[in-house]
Amino acid sequence: MAETAVVHIVDDDSSLRLALDSLFRSVQLGTRLYGSAQDFLAAKRPDLPSCLVLDIRLPGISGLDFQQQLQQAGVHIPVVLMTGHGDIPMSVRGMKAGAIDFLTKPFRDQDMLDAVGTAIERDRERRSADGDLARLRELYEALSPREREVMALVVAGRMNKQVAGDLNLAEITVKIHRGAAMRKMGARSLAELVRMAEALQLPRAAVGR
């Protein structure tokens, strides 16, 4: 059976790694096991919805520092933190850094499954949003330079007549480029085109005078 989601388990306790491996596989989740943060970084990871179950106390870099390092490196993977020596400052730091949950050993299997389920769903949503944005960028890249100019001015609130003046074009030409841009972008209304431009984060300097 092909894996549809993967839990990456980083803990230097081999017995806990194996126990978690068995737990996650019992609910049809794929797993990858690592004894240190360095092992995780060195491994090739499947391109699937996933999460990271991360022990705070690790050899070398700590789990909390590693969580921060991943964020700084742009590695977007939801994290579930665990520790046998948890305290409130650790919990607060981990949650502020975006951890899905913070579990103190020994934890209940169901608590871990719930946390991991939430984390993987969060990653699915992120991946879907990233995919939508990538498709939107492809559509935008397919516009001609003039269509991009017209789109930028239109979503900035300029009327066709104003756009024509800005670009030294006939108004009918602006209408043609505007229609082509909306058609190529798949926008059914001006409001939808504006939302697309916002999602693409078009530079403010490019959206009118």
Average pLDDT over residues 147-157: 92
What is the band of 209 on the pLDDT scale with cuts at 50, 70, 90? very low
The burial of 107, by beta-carbon neighbours within 10 Å (0-12 exposed, 13-18 middle, 19 or more buried), is given as middle
Residue-number span of the structural domain to which 192 is assigned: 142-206
Q: What are phi and psi of 98, to 5 degrees?
A: 105, 10
| Residue 124 sits in the same domain as residue 159 | no
Per-residue pLDDT of 88-119, as tens digits, reads 677 777 777 788 998 988 899 999 999 999 99
Domain count, the chain: 2
The residue written with tokens 């944005």 in the block is 133
Residues 47, 75: contact at Cβ < 8 Å? no
What is the token pair recorded at 44?
């090739």
| Domain match, 35 and 117 both | yes
CATH number at residue 165: 1.10.10.10
Q: Are residues 115 and 156 in the same domain?
A: no
Which of 96, 111, 136 is the C-terminal boundary of a domain?
136
Which residues touch 14 (CB under 8 Å, ≥6 apart)? 35
Angle formed by the axes of helices 145-155 and 160-167, to 10°? Answer: 130
Q: Could you give the CA distance from residue 115 to residue 23 in angstroms, rounded to a whole number?
A: 13
How many alpha carbons lie under 13 Å from residue 204 in its C-beta half-sphere?
0
| Cα angle 119-10-49, degrees, rounded to a multiple of 5 | 35
Whole-number pLDDT of residue 204: 57
Q: What is the maximum span of the chain, computed from C-alpha positions, in angstroms?
A: 74
Which three-class secondary structure state does DSSP give residue 104?
strand
**Segment 178-201 mean pLDDT:** 91
DSSP state of 53: E
Least reliable range by pLDDT among 12-21, 84-93, 130-139, 193-202? 84-93
The letter for the amino acid at 76 is: H
**Helix, strand, coil share of the chain (percent; to 5):** 55, 10, 30
CATH number at residue 38: 3.40.50.2300
